Each structure stands twice: as C-alpha cells, then as structure tokens.
C-alpha cells in the first residue's frame, strides 16, 4: 500500500498535472486524501491488521517524497517503532536524493525507486520543463542536466550503502523510447536490481502537457518490444499496474475506499496482537510457496526423465490469459478487466505483461456497448494467437477467431503455465507453429 504524506514536488514532468485529484482515476500522482504522518501511521496499522498479506508500505507522493523529508521520515520513524514487521519503500525523482541517502539508510528500507527517464539532457529537456534547485526555478536543458546528475549520483550512493534500487521509466514514443535501452544498460551497470518501463498515460482530460499537445503513449506491442530489448541486460518488471499514490491492496485491486480516514479513525487496532496473526499468515504463505516450488521442481524432473518430447525448435507465440489470481485460469472472457500475456516457445513459458481493457459484459444489462467494447478488447489482444478463459461466450467467439485469436475455455481452473504449454503444444501438433518460422527467417 501507499500513503499520501508527501504533497510537495520540486520538479515538473510533462506527464503530470498537480491540479488533478479524482477518486475514479487510477494512476501515479493522484490521491484523494492527504495525510499527516500520524494519520498515515494509523491507516497503515489498520490496513496491516485487516489485510495480513500486506507487507510493504510505500511513500510515493502525490509529490516527491524526498521533497517532503520531514513528513516522509516522520512516517518511517513511527512505523519502524510501531510496526517493525512492515517493510518500507519510497519513490523519488532523484533531485534531492543524494542529500537524503544517509537518513534513508537509518530505516528498515526494503528498496528505493528512482524514476529515471533519460541520461541525456537533450532528451530530458523534452520531459522536464523546470526544476527547483538551490532557491531558483531552473528551466530547459540546464534543469535536465542537474536532475540527471543528481539521479545518477543518488543511485550510486544507494548501491554503495547496500540499499536495493529499482528504476522506473516512462516510455514516451518519439521522445525517449529509443533512449531507454541505453538507460537500462547504465542503471544496471551501476547496480539497480530491477527496471520497470511503464507506458506514458496522456489522456487530454488529465490536462498534462503531453495530454493537451497530443503526445501519444506507446501501444502494447511497442512497450513489450522495448521491455524485451532491455531484458537482455536487465531484470525487467512486468507486473506494474501504475497505481495511485494512495493505493491499498493487491495488484490491480484497490481497496482504498475501505480505509478512508473517517473509517480508520473508528477502528480499534491492537497492533501487537495483529502482528502475531500476521506472522502466522506470512508463515502459511511461505509454506504454500515452498510446496508449489517443490511440486514444480518434481514435475520438471518427471518431464526430463520421461523425455517424451523431442526438442523441436518452434517459433514463439503469445497467449492471453484471463485470471482473477491464484495462478489459475478462473476468469470469464466477458468479465476480464485485464489479460495476462504469456510467451510460449520451445524453451518454455514466460510472463510478458498485462493488458487492460473494459470488461465485455460490463455496464448496461443488455450489453448495449458490447460491440465497441469487444473491438477494444480485440485491439488489446493484438498479436496474441489464443486467449484462455474459464468461459467464452458465443458472441465474441466469431470475432476473436476472425482476428486470429483462438478462444479457449477448456482449461478452466488449471495452473496458467501448464495450460499455456498444453495449448502451445496443440498449436505445434496442428502445424500452426511452422508457417511463420519461414517468414521470420526470410526477414532475418
């Protein structure tokens, strides 16, 4: 979860508009309630006692946490004392990071996230209109130069202190999309452990520079291609859902409305008691993960021993999956608000990312909007050759097939990776994985 204790910012980004605050919006930089550190701690304890799976508390805004050092560190100090079982993390634009590293290292910090969109000031000048630096507002290339130097210095200092650093980058087509491969190489060389490339969000109604000047965000395919290009050098994060600076809950499922300040004030929380219960829940989760891991290992061994599958080199294919979580295929096509995308190949299955859509059956009981919503989902699934769901209705079946995406409801409740492999194998047997190999070789 995130708590919104840090309202001030010391830079302007072209994808951000500080005037915006709407509870229906889910994106970084947006919050509904700003909290003082004492309130924030109360809220964290309430959430941690109610949702024991919650393990990490982040401060991510709505401004820059390190431009609000008193509020950010006051929150961390109280949490370190009252809830030592919660890990802390913080995100920053990096401008004041070097001067805060020493203080950051005093707390139970799990990781620091720095948003690094460029290492070239000429690129930076197209992303950052100004920074506030040494009592002056500085604009243009000079501003970008200072910001970049501070980010890189902060990254080096954190790594030297042994603090984990994740790097976030916003992919802005035509501005930094080509450049981010270089960014990825540099931050990896300096010791960042994870790189999260996120798509630009630039709806005109958000009132940002990019939104109002028609700068587009990347397509799913463009984003995935860049993530793949960076992956050779760097551990890439694929599960980011670009949540709000006050998000609460599990990925893609915000439970913030259960924990508004007026509700939290009424809750009686005995945290030492809650901490015991949390420890039990965490132990059970670890046990389950461990047994899943062992089961997977033994299955791999069985396949190796049997050696039933001759290793045939087949081309990779993208397969979309509808799931509510738990690692199994358990979501109806029409109810899915997002699809997880897997790449299957003769090497195995890997998770590529998630793509959002509007659920086909949402809204109007008569499904009046169904057609246009289906068009959107077809676009979102572009490039995928199959979509696995617990069920697929009759209406979308035809259009999916026509778009080259095979609907498949035969693997309900099966573990995702097993089902993806089975479907890939069926495609191989049906000869669907050969035709395009020639095409690819021709291109190569």
Partner 1 sequence: MALEIIELCTNCWACEPLCPSKAIYEAKPHFMIDPDKCNECSGDFEDSQCASICPIEGAILNADGEAMNPPGSLTNIPLQKLAA
Judged by the rule CB under 8 A, the positions of this chain that interact with partner 1 are: 7-10, 12, 14, 18-19, 34, 63, 67-68, 70, 129-130, 132, 135-137, 209, 212-213
Shortest distance (Å) from residue 198 CB to partner 1: 21
In the complex, what is the shortest distance from the CB of residue 137 to partner 1, in angstroms, rounded to a whole number?
A: 4
Classify the C-alpha dihedral 290-296-298-300 as positive or negative: negative
Cβ proximity to partner 1: between 140 and 326 the closer is 140
- Is 32:247 a contact under the CB 8 Å cutoff? no
Q: Residue 119 Cβ, how far from partner 1 at the closest point, in Å?
A: 22
Q: Are 3 and 68 in contact (CB under 8 A)?
A: no
DSSP 20: -
In the complex with partner 1, which residue's Cβ is closer, 13 or 112?
13
Q: Which is nearer to partner 1, 38 or 279 (CB)?
A: 38
Closer Cβ to partner 1, 9 or 243, answer by number: 9
Minimum separation from the CB atom of position 9 to partner 1 (A): 6
CB of 21 to partner 1, least distance (A): 8
396 neighbors 374 (Cβ within 8 angstroms): yes
Between 60 and 340, whose beta carbon lies closer to partner 1? Answer: 60
Query: Which residues, including other chains, have CB under 8 Å from residue 153's CB and lie 6 or more apart?
Result: 97, 98
Give yes or no for a cis peptide into 62 (omega within 30° of 0). yes
Of 169, 33, 37, nearest in space to 91 by CA: 169
| Smallest separation, CB 29 to partner 1 (Å) | 11
CA distances from 356 to 167, 242, 262, 335, 395 (A): 23, 11, 32, 12, 20
Select 16 or 192, whichever has its Cβ closest to partner 1: 16
Rounded to the nearest 5 degrees, what angle is found at the Cα of 263, between the Cα atoms of 261 and 267?
Answer: 110
């Amino acid at each position: 979860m995130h708590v919104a204790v840090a309202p001030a910012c010391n830079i302007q980004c072209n994808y951000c508009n500080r005037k915006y605050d709407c509870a229906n919006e889910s994106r970084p930089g947006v919050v509904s309630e700003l909290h003082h550190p004492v309130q924030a701690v109360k809220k964290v304890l309430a959430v941690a006692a109610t949702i024991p799976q919650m393990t990490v508390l982040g401060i991510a805004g709505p401004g820059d946490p390190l431009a609000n050092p008193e509020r950010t560190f006051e929150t961390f100090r109280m949490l370190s004392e009252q809830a030592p079982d919660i890990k802390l993390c913080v995100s920053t634009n990096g401008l004041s990071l070097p001067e805060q590293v020493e203080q950051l290292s005093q707390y139970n910090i799990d990781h620091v996230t720095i948003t690094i969109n460029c290492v070239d000031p000429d690129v930076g000048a197209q992303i950052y209109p100004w920074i506030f630096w040494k009592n002056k507002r500085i604009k243009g290339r000079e501003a970008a130069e200072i910001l970049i130097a501070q980010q890189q210095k902060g990254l080096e200092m954190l790594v030297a202190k042994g603090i984990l650093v994740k790097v976030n980058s916003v992919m802005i087509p035509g501005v930094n999309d080509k450049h981010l491969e270089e960014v990825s190489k540099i931050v990896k060389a300096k010791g960042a452990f994870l790189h999260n490339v996120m798509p630009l969000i630039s709806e005109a109604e958000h009132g940002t520079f990019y939104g109002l000047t028609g700068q587009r965000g990347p397509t799913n395919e463009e984003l995935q291609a860049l993530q793949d290009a960076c992956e050779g050098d760097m551990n890439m994060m694929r599960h980011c859902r670009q949540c709000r600076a006050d998000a609460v809950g599990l990925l893609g499922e915000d439970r913030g409305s259960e924990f508004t300040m007026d509700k939290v004030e009424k809750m009686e929380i005995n945290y030492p008691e809650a901490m015991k219960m949390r420890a039990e829940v965490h132990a059970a989760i670890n046990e389950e993960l461990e047994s899943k891991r062992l089961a997977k290992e033994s299955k791999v061994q069985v396949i190796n021993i049997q050696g039933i599958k001759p290793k045939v080199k087949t081309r990779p294919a993208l397969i979309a999956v509808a799931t509510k979580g738990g690692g199994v295929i358990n979501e109806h096509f029409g109810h899915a608000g997002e699809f997880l995308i897997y790449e299957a190949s003769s090497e195995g299955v890997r998770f590529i990312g998630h793509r959002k859509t509007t659920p086909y059956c949402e809204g109007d009981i008569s499904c009046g909007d169904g057609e246009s919503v289906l068009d959107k989902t077809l676009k979102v699934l572009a490039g995928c050759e199959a979509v696995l769901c617990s069920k697929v209705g009759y209406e979308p079946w035809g259009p999916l097939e026509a778009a080259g995406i095979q609907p498949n409801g035969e693997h309900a409740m099966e573990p995702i990776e097993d089902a993806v492999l089975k479907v890939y194998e069926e495609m191989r047997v049906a000869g669907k994985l050969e035709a395009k190999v020639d095409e690819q070789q021709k291109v190569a």
